[in-house]
Amino acid sequence: MKLQTYISAGKIQEKVAELASVIDNYLGDSEAVMIANLKGSVIFFSDLIRAMKSRNITTDFLSTESYAGTEHTGTVKITRDLSMDIAGKKVVLVEDILDTGLTLSHIMRYIRDIHQPADVKICVLLDKPANRKVELSADFVGFTIKNEFVVGYGLDYYEKLRNLPYIAWVEEE
């Protein structure tokens, strides 16, 4: 397997700062909850909340299973639920990539129906609209990418390569 740099670490950090500013403006002085879907979004999420200026945010995590290797299974299972009450609060759900949309649409329905926040917005580092299987879009998008398999900065290849500080596309040899 050969890796080709797709988005540099520097460009990612510039975009994270830009997204943090836009989300800060959206939240204003509201009490809000930033939620990361583990595992892939944890690096992006950490950098994003550190770049935010808001002092009224709390953080929480949920975890889902929907992929087997590099393929979406077609089903989404919540394996770790939120640990705090988010009813009536503004929520920003942070995800590494919006690909098929199956996972995020399931999470959005679940959060709205079960946890009843005042509002939920989606923030993704990467948006891959060419692969979308459901009608869903993110409110805050870092980069729109073509339909390539990418790794790094939290995105994995069989649980490996999440630790790359940049995003690379995988060139099969």
> Region 118-145: what's the mean pLDDT?
97
Domain count for the chain, please give it. 1
Full strand arrangement of the beta sheet holding 71-80: 71-80, 57-68, 32-38, 90-98, 119-127, 140-144
Token duo for residue 47: 């950098």
Specify if 25 maps to a domain: yes
Give the SS3 label for residue 76. Answer: strand
Residue 166 resides in a domain = no
Catalytic residue check, 156: no
CA distance 130 to 10: 26
pLDDT at residue 136 greater than cutoff 70: yes
pLDDT at 128 over 60: yes
pLDDT tens track for 85-126: 999 999 999 999 999 999 999 999 999 999 999 999 999 999
Tell me which residue of 73, 127, 126, 129 sits closest to 103, measured CA to CA. Answer: 73
Query: Which pLDDT score, from 0 to 100, does residue 72 have?
Result: 59
* Percent of the chain's residues with pLDDT above 70: 95
103: alpha, beta or left? (left if phi > 0; alpha if psi -120 to 50): alpha
Instruction: Look at residue 172 and tell me if it is in a domain.
Output: no
Identify the pLDDT of residue 52: 98
Q: Does residue 163 contact residue 156 with C-beta atoms inside 8 Å? A: no
Q: What is the reported pLDDT for 141?
A: 98
Rounded mean pLDDT, 15-43? 96
Residue 134: what pLDDT? 95
**Higher pLDDT among residues 83 and 173, named by residue:** 83
**Confidence at residue 172, expressed as pLDDT on a 0 to 100 scale:** 74
**The domain that contains 64 carries what CATH number?**
3.40.50.2020
Task: Specify the higher pLDDT residue, 76 or 112.
Answer: 112
Which residue is it, tokens 């950098």?
Answer: 47
Residue 73: per-residue pLDDT: 64
Active-site residue (options: 29, 60, 85, 99) = 99
* pLDDT at residue 65, as a whole number: 82
Q: Are 128 and 97 in contact (CB under 8 A)?
A: yes
Alpha-carbon torsion 41, 151, 24, 120, what sign? negative
Do the domain assignments include residue 1?
A: no
Q: Is 170 a domain residue? A: no
State which residues form the domain around 36.
9-147
42: exposed, middle or buried (Cβ count in 10 Å: 0-12, 13-18, 19+): middle
The whole-number average pLDDT for the span 21-50 is 96
